[in-house]
Amino acid sequence: MTSGMLIREARLLAGISQGDLGDRVGRDRAQIARWERDAVQPSFETLRELLRACGYDLTLQLARHEPDEHANEQIRKRLRRTPQERTRSMLRTLDR
């Protein structure tokens, strides 16, 4: 899965438009579209910011810049959650 695909999936699952995501992170809609098309690659920090704006927390260990399949699976599981499941998960985290 490319970073563009990840951004688009997270945005769609969050139920927001490219413009809404851009507003949340202080970027214009055109920049969001470029990232989603993989025309431009966002930095890791920007990717993290975009996913957080969609309700996801990206925590990856980039040891030796090798893919971490466990982390990728965690992201895939989180992206499969419904908005209600994400909300319940965030509330459980806050209660701790």
The total number of structural domains that make up the chain: 1
Residue 4 neighbours by CB distance under 10 Å: 20
Parent domain of 25: 3-95
How many Cα atoms occupy the beta-carbon half-sphere of 12 within 13 Å?
10
Q: Which amino acid is at 75?
A: I
pLDDT digits (tens, 9 = 90+) for 66-82: 556 766 777 777 777 77
Name, in order, each residue with C-beta under 8 angstroms of 44's C-beta and a sequence gap of 6 or more: 60, 62
Q: pLDDT tens for residues 12-61?
A: 988 999 999 999 999 999 999 999 999 999 998 899 899 989 988 766 54
Is the alpha carbon torsion for 17, 62, 86, 88 positive or negative?
negative
| Domain containing residue 88: CATH number | 1.10.260.40
Q: What is the pLDDT of residue 91?
A: 67
